[in-house]
Amino acid sequence: MKKVLVTGADGFIGSHLTEELLKRGYGVRAFVYYNSFNSWGWLDTLPKEIKEQIEVFSGDIRDPNGVRKAMKNIEEVYHLAALIAIPFSYHSPDAYVDTNIKGTLNVLQGARNSKISRILITSTSEVYGSAQYVPIDERHPLQGQSPYSATKIGADRLAESFYKSFEMPITIVRPFNTYGPRQSARAVIPTIIMQLLAGMEEIKLGSLTPTRDFNYVKDTVNGFIEIAQCQNTIGEEINIASGKEITIGQLAQELIRQINPKAQIRCDEERLRPQNSEVTRLLGSNQKITTLTKWQPLYSFEEGLKETIQWMGSHLNNYKSDRYNI
């Protein structure tokens, strides 16, 4: 049994990745954020028979000693732990530097001192900023249009330097806009669904014109695993993208059509990003991942939305529909 470490396993993508790795027969050590409530985040919602298979390690990605300890006897590392909310990064950038940059450095240093066969560092499509050309491939310039994206760029370049300096088996994985069950309300799709399912007929959103390349979480997770299984991906930066785009306004109208056709959209100024910080267009190229690996997206946008709506409908108590979640 291959033993792997997933950092950020308590989060949205991390919990799905942990679940899928277990289904495929991996031994998973799940690095979760230590807290006095002994909460394992979204892992707490998994069936008992799945949770019993997980080796949970509570720690803090900002602490090098804990990260080093978590890597003992590990063969592969999937590093997903990060602060990701863009609005929160505007007023708490120090926390993003400590978590996203220093946290990634701790993972890289810990892996360097261990016999790790594969290290996947999670990036984000936000590092590209507004598209200078489409589809956005891995050669697109990087643009720090928010403190969040700037810290992820810093983490990516650190990972690149460890690959080149120490010949470590590192791949930078760059998912575009992932959505699905368990996503927090700070993201646009759960924000819209949450308000609609709560019966609100005035849906509050920020800008409606930006486009995004949405990917269902199970496709994103499969992308991580396919990348880890391929030796030709070492030393590469690889997008996980659908190759399709939709405006936020079009997305909102589709969800309104499916859930409550009477609802209307209202622009809420509190939800608008600063003008030069807003990423106006994201449309990714998946040519590299489909060339190097066997990965192909298996879920249509309609199928993914349907599963997300169904899941959120039975978990509304996990969301605060009357508040703006940053």
- pLDDT of res. 119: 98
Confidence (pLDDT) at 261:
93
Those residues whose C-beta lies under 8 Å from the C-beta of residue 261, and which sit 6 or more positions away, are none
DSSP designation for 231 = G
> In the predicted model, is pLDDT for residue 204 greater than 90?
no
What mean pLDDT, rounded, does the chain reach? Answer: 95
Tell me the per-residue pLDDT of 6-15, one tens digit each, with 9 for 90 and over.
999 999 999 9
Res. 263: pLDDT tops 80 = yes
What confidence category does residue 317 fall into, taking pLDDT thresholds of 50, 70 and 90?
A: confident
Bigger pLDDT: 308 vs 200: 308
How far from 314 is each of 178, 229, 263, 308, 319, CA to CA, in Å?
20, 35, 21, 10, 11
Q: What is the pLDDT of residue 206?
A: 84
Q: Per mean pLDDT, which of 64-78, 251-265, 271-285 is the most reliable?
A: 64-78
Q: What's residue 321's pLDDT?
A: 63
- What is the dihedral sign for C-alpha 66, 67, 73, 78? positive
pLDDT of amino acid 318 = 79
Q: Which of 12, 312, 322, 309 is nearest to 184 (CA)?
A: 12
Burial class (CB in 10 A: 0-12, 13-18, 19+), 25: exposed
Q: Assess whether pLDDT exceeds 70 at residue 3.
A: yes
Mean of the pLDDT values across residues 230-251? 97
Judge contact between 14 and 80, C-beta under 8 A: yes
Question: What is the Cα–Cα distance from 313 to 198, expressed in whole angstroms?
Answer: 9
Fold for 3-178+216-240, please state it.
Rossmann fold (3.40.50)
Distance (Å, whole) CA 110 – CA 169 = 13
Up-side HSE of residue 38: CA atoms within 13 Å toward CB? 0
Q: Where are the domains of the chain?
A: 3-178+216-240
Q: Is 287 exposed, middle or buried (0-12, 13-18, 19+ CB in 10 A)?
A: middle
Answer yes or no: pTM beyond 0.75.
yes
CB 56 within 8 Å of CB 40: yes
Q: Which of the 8 DSSP states describes residue 101?
A: I
Looking at residue 324, its pLDDT comes to 66
